[in-house]
Amino acid sequence: MARSTDPLVVGRVIGDVIDLFVPSVDMAVHYGTKQVTNGCEIKPSVTVNHPNVQIAGRFYDNSLYTLVMTDPDAPSPSEPNLREWIHWLVTDIPAATDPSQGREVLAYMGPRPPIGIHRYVFALFKQQGPMVMVMPPQQRNNFSTRAFAAHYGLGIPVAAVYFNAQKEPGTRKR
């Protein structure tokens, strides 16, 4: 059996967070000048503010999208018993725009990995229409991207990307 070279499979994003899919929409995620590419490392100090996310499309396209950002490694990669920790949830994002044009259901919370290397996953879903009844989760822990997508009829993702982050060493006073 051939080994997969898809970084989402190798990084266990496919399986732990989402099911196998064929990307059909281009999505670019940037923290400042740093573009998120699958498996890249980004320091938590760079991720304090929400990223710039651009979703491809044409302005006359009426498509709407939902963006979910989670950490499947909470609180630690070896014991992810809080999997998934949801960091951001935005619905009704028009094609060819960014999340600021959508409805922020759950405000952005920057990564703060307590121990180990954590994966932070952005999954983009195409909506069937406006999502009028979406309520924010009651808690950020134990969220399931897969169950959320199934509950709201979103199907499989149309785009996804992830990065790694780990706790930064503190500054010591002497």
What pLDDT, on a 0 to 100 scale, did the predictor assign at position 1? 45
| 120-155 pLDDT per residue, tens | 999 999 999 999 889 999 999 999 999 999 999 999
What pLDDT, on a 0 to 100 scale, did the predictor assign at position 164? 98
Domains and CATH numbers, the chain: 7-166 (3.90.280.10)
Give DSSP secondary structure letters for 60-73. T---EEEEEEEETT
In 3D space, the residue among 128, 154, 134 whose CA is nearest the CA of residue 64 turns out to be 128
Indicate the range of 58-62, 87-91, 126-130 predicted with least confidence. 58-62
Q: Structure pTM?
A: 0.93
Q: Side by side, which strands form the sheet with 85-94?
A: 40-41, 159-166, 117-126, 64-71, 85-94, 103-106
Residue 97 and residue 67 in contact, taking contact as beta carbons nearer than 8 Å: no
| pLDDT band, residue 172 (cuts 50/70/90) | low
What pLDDT, on a 0 to 100 scale, did the predictor assign at position 173? 53
